[in-house]
Amino acid sequence: MWQHLLQYEFLQNAYISGILIGLIAPLLGVFIVSKRLALIPDALSHVSLSGVAIATFLMSIGILPLGFNPMLLGIVFSIIGAIILWQLTRQFHNVQEIGIAILMSLSLGLSVIFIALAKGVKLDLTSYLFGSINTISRQDLVLIFILTVATLIFVKFQYRKLFAIVFDEDFIRVRNLRINLVNGTFFVFIGLVVAVSMKIVGVLLVSALMTLPVAIAIRLAKSFRQTIFYAIIAGEIGVISGLVSSYYLNLPSGGTIVVTLVLLLLLVFGYTKISSLLKKA
């Protein structure tokens, strides 16, 4: 495998982008799960898909050039969706669940319509739905690299505010700290990470990469910082084992990453259960 990794650019793209997403998806995932917003990545992945579908349609009627990367419109849609969801969670807290469901259904509906309308341009729908890491291009990789750096900088400099917001937003409001901009930017970053993760794990599995590592980490950690650390470790284990097993077994990367993470979760669950029983004994 190492020889092939050095030899083939598509494998390098796959591994590097996988490792980068394995870092930032669980990093944001910790804040998302803590804020009880686990449905948001799922909704945004659907929104993002509708962007890809509309880009394909626009390419088919000649408004966009045939060489256009549809993921770019997916990213734009994901950002718009993130801003809508941010406002929904902020101002319409009571109806946010139904709002998320409506946005998801609408996005999927639009995707189906525009994919059907896009005649003459072939969209590999399966790769967007279930992920196809081997189709990551150098251009995609550069995009993912820039996003990783931006996410790390954002979390590094806004960590305290982000933690305070997800932990107890009311308390921070009473403290009169300005949180709207940080909160909004956080949603935009979720949108961006979801959109670029689409090719790695697919629309249907992208939220798993943000939530499963967190589910593993919260069983082991004693503090929020530790939760982030363990979630990233779990995310990387999931991505790398998924990639390696998909290489050797020729299985789709998205599915193998998610199944690996679920197995890891079961393993950790068993470990914590046994160690708590041993403590009681």
Partner 1 sequence: MLTVKNLTYIIEQQIVLNDVNFEIETGDFAAVIGPNGSGKSTLLKCLLGMNTKYEGSILYDELPLKQFLKREKIGYVAQHSLRYNNSIPVSVQEVVATGCENLIGTKKAIAQALEKVGLIGFEKKRLSELSGGQQQRVFIARALAMKPRLLVLDEPTVGIDQARVKEFYALMMQLHREGMTIILVSHDVHLMNAEITKVIAINQGVAFNGNYEAYRRYHANYCECGES
- Kindly tell me which residue out of 11, 21, 33, 243 binds partner 1, with binding defined by CB under 8 A: 33
Q: Is 35 in the site for partner 1 (CB under 8 A)?
A: yes
- Kindly tell me which residue out of 173, 269, 274, 276 binds partner 1, with binding defined by CB under 8 A: 173
What is the rounded CA–CA span in Å between residue 257 and residue 243?
A: 7
Closest C-alpha among 179, 185, 178 to residue 155 = 185
Span from 42-50, 80-88, 165-173, 233-241 in contact with partner 1 (CB under 8 A):
165-173
Q: Is 222 in the site for partner 1 (CB under 8 A)?
A: yes
C-beta of 99: minimal distance to partner 1 in Å?
Answer: 20
- Closer to partner 1 at the Cβ: 122 or 178? 178
Closest C-alpha among 174, 179, 175, 188 to residue 158 = 179
Q: Is 94 in the site for partner 1 (CB under 8 A)?
A: no
C-beta of 26: minimal distance to partner 1 in Å?
Answer: 14
DSSP track, 121-186? S---HHHHHH--GGG--HHHHHHHHHHHHHHHHHHHHHHHHHHHHHH-HHHHHHTT---HHHHHHH
In the structure encoding, which two tokens stand for residue 278, read together? 């041993």
Q: Is 279 in the site for partner 1 (CB under 8 A)?
A: no
Q: Is 152 in the site for partner 1 (CB under 8 A)?
A: no
Size of the site for partner 1 (CB under 8 A): 28
Q: Is 177 in the site for partner 1 (CB under 8 A)?
A: yes
Output the furthest CA–CA distance in the chain (Å, rounded): 71
At which residue do the structure tokens 């009627």 appear? 61
In the structure encoding, which two tokens stand for residue 156, read together? 């590094």
- Kindly tell me which residue out of 133, 144, 172, 200 binds partner 1, with binding defined by CB under 8 A: 172
C-beta of 71: minimal distance to partner 1 in Å?
Answer: 32
C-beta of 166: minimal distance to partner 1 in Å?
Answer: 8
Q: Is 97 in the site for partner 1 (CB under 8 A)?
A: no
Q: Is 183 in the site for partner 1 (CB under 8 A)?
A: no
Q: Is 93 in the site for partner 1 (CB under 8 A)?
A: no
Q: Is 260 helix (H, G, I), strand (E, B) or coil?
A: helix
Q: Kindly give the residue spans of alpha helices, DSSP state H, lying in the chain.
A: 2-7, 9-34, 39-60, 70-91, 96-117, 125-130, 138-167, 169-174, 180-201, 206-217, 224-249, 253-280
Binding site for partner 1 (CB under 8 A): 33-36, 160-161, 163-164, 166-168, 170-177, 217-218, 221-227
